[in-house]
Amino acid sequence: MKSGILGAILLIIGIAVGALIGGATAPPKTVTTTVQQTVTATQQQTVTTTAIQTTTQTVTSTTTATQTATVTATATVTAAPLVPASEVELRRAIGSAVGSNFLPRFQSVAIVRYPNLLCTALATAAAAALPPYVNAALVDYNATNPKSSAEKAAQYQAVFLAFGGEEPLQEADKATRDFLAALAETGYRGAVVVHARAWAATKQFATVKNDTRIAPWLNTVQIYVVLLNATHLTIARYNATTGALTPVMYIQRTTGKAEKPYTEAEALFLRTAVGRVAGAVLFQGYGKVAVVTSTDPYCAALSAAAYSTSRANSTAIFTYTGNLEALKAQIQNYAPDAVFIAFGGEEPAYAIAKATDDVITVLRQIDYKGDVLIHAFVLRATAGLTKLSQENIQWLSQKTVKAIAPDLPNRKVNIVKITFADGKPQFAVLQTLPMPDAVANILAKILSS
Each residue's pLDDT tens digit in the chain (449 positions)?
Answer: 444 444 443 333 343 333 333 333 344 444 444 444 444 444 444 444 444 334 444 444 444 444 444 444 454 545 556 788 999 999 999 999 999 999 999 999 999 999 999 999 999 999 999 999 999 999 999 999 999 999 999 999 999 999 977 889 999 999 999 999 999 999 999 999 999 999 999 999 999 999 999 999 999 999 999 999 999 999 999 999 999 999 999 999 999 999 999 999 999 999 999 999 999 999 999 999 999 999 999 999 999 999 999 999 999 999 999 999 999 999 999 999 999 999 988 899 999 999 999 999 999 999 999 999 999 999 999 999 999 999 999 999 999 999 999 999 999 999 999 999 888 999 999 999 999 999 999 999 999 88
Q: What is the CATH classification number for the domain harbouring 131?
A: 3.40.50.2300
Does some domain include residue 27?
yes
Burial call 227-238: b when 16+ CB within 10 Å, e when fewer: bbeeebbbbbeb
pLDDT of residue 264: 93
Q: Are residues 31 and 163 in the same domain?
A: no
| Same domain assignment for residues 28 and 175 | no
Q: Mark which of 226, 252, 278 sits at the end of a domain.
A: 252
Q: What is the pLDDT of residue 350?
A: 96
Which pLDDT score, from 0 to 100, does residue 82 have? 77
pLDDT of residue 346: 86
- CA dist 120 and 117 (Å) reads 5
Q: Where do runs of H (alpha helix) occur along 140-263?
A: 146-153, 169-185, 196-201, 206-209
CA distances from 8 to 2, 19, 69 (A): 10, 17, 13
In this prediction, residue 423 carries a pLDDT of 82
Residues 10 and 70 both lie in one domain: yes
Q: Is the domain of 296 the same as that of 397?
A: yes
Residue 259 domain-assigned? Answer: no
Give the DSSP H or E segment for 446: helix 437-448
Per-residue model confidence (pLDDT) at position 164: 74
Q: Domain range for residue 28?
A: 2-77
Nearest Cα to Cα of residue 304 among 342, 334, 331, 330: 342
**Whether residue 137 is found in the same domain as residue 205:** yes
Q: State whether 411 and 317 are in the same domain.
A: yes
Do 63 and 8 fall into the same domain? yes
Domain count within the chain: 3
The answer to whether residue 353 is domain-embedded is yes
Asked if residue 129 is part of any domain, the answer here is yes
- pLDDT attached to residue 80: 53
In a domain, 258, yes or no: no
- Rounded distance between C-alpha atoms, residue 431 and residue 436, angstroms: 16
Residues 304 and 428 in one domain: yes
End-of-domain residue from the set 230, 252, 274 = 252
For the chain, the C-alpha Rg in angstroms (whole number) is 35
Domain-embedded: residue 399 = yes
Give CA torsion, residues 230, 236, 239, 242, to 10 deg: -30
Q: Is residue 257 part of a domain?
A: no
Predicted pLDDT of residue 81: 62
pLDDT of residue 253: 96
Domain end call among 199, 222, 252: 252
- Are 245 and 111 found together in one domain? yes
